[in-house]
């Protein structure tokens, strides 16, 4: 689990080993990344024409290092914050959440311009690239309810779009197993400790990042090149 690989330890040798192992795994067809799924665009989405100002979306899909790294690549996304949702303020601390004794999920808060990228498009990336929505209370090597798949809606419009897209994906049967994603009301979002913010960008050689986050970024580039921010 990524909480055992915290910054501050001697990671260089470990990261090199992890990178070598990952490269070797990619050379074996049966052990490559999860099969790429082609998802339909949301049939129900927010109205970009009536959108004014920035909006926020809160999503949970396993390790927030990985999901944060994916969404901050998207054009129209102004900021992504790693944090916690689903529990109370008193327990919104990494050591408590990672113990599995709280109701929090590792989550991200995405601040985006709905005139440039819609809430539905964010959900499409969430389901296609950011995580595996068929995994129940886990994500990759991380186990526990704190790594569950969840959409924390802020208002009736977000709830409407999220529930409609879930139904659309289930009817299209694009995944090999049932979707485990919860759609729940957002009570509050609590930012995580500073050392978790933009972790992938600041620690690209971290062994957990090499094995779990970087492949998602490559998948994003291949599947959604039209949604990426333009290089300066």
Over residues 159-212, the pLDDT tens digits come to 999 999 999 999 999 999 999 999 999 999 999 999 999 999 999 999 999 999
Over residues 174-188, the pLDDT tens digits come to 999 999 999 999 999
| Mean pLDDT, residues 55-83 taken together | 98
At 37, the pLDDT band (50, 70, 90 cuts) reads confident
What is the chain's mean pLDDT, rounded?
A: 88
| Mean pLDDT, residues 128-154 taken together | 97
| Mean pLDDT, residues 86-104 taken together | 97
Over residues 101-114, the pLDDT tens digits come to 999 999 999 999 99
Would residue 66 show up in a list of annotated catalytic residues for this protein? no
| Mean pLDDT, residues 113-125 taken together | 97
Q: Which of 18, 39, 63, 105 is catalytic?
A: 63
| Predicted pLDDT at 231 | 78
At 232, the pLDDT band (50, 70, 90 cuts) reads low
**Residue 118 pLDDT > 50:** yes
Distance of CA 64 to the CA centre of its chain: 6
Q: Which fold has domain 8-225?
A: 3.30.1060
At 2, the pLDDT band (50, 70, 90 cuts) reads low
| Mean pLDDT, residues 107-130 taken together | 97
**Domain ranges, ordered by start, for the chain:** 8-225
């Amino acid at each position: 689990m990524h909480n055992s690989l915290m910054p501050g330890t001697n990671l260089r040798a470990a990261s090199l080993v992890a990178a070598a192992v990952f490269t070797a795994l990619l050379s074996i067809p049966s052990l490559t990344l999860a099969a790429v799924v082609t998802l339909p665009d949301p049939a129900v989405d927010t109205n970009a024409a009536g959108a004014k100002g920035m909006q926020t979306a809160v999503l949970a899909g396993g390790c927030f290092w990985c999901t944060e790294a994916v969404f901050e690549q998207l054009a129209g996304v102004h900021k992504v914050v790693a944090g916690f949702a689903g529990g109370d303020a008193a327990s919104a601390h990494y050591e408590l959440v990672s113990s599995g004794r709280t109701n929090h999920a590792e989550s991200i808060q995405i601040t985006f311009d709905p005139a440039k990228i819609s809430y539905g498009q964010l959900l499409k990336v969430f389901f296609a690239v950011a995580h595996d929505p068929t995994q129940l209370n886990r994500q990759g090597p991380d186990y526990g309810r704190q790594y569950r798949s969840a959409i924390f809606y802020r208002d009736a419009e977000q709830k409407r779009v999220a529930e409609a897209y879930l139904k659309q994906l289930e009817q299209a049967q694009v995944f090999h197993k049932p979707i485990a994603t919860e759609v729940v009301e957002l009570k509050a979002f609590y930012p995580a400790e500073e050392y978790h913010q933009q972790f992938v960008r600041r620690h690209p050689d971290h062994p957990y990042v090499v094995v779990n986050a970087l492949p998602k970024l490559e998948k994003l580039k291949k599947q959604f090149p039209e949604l990426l921010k333009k290089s300066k």
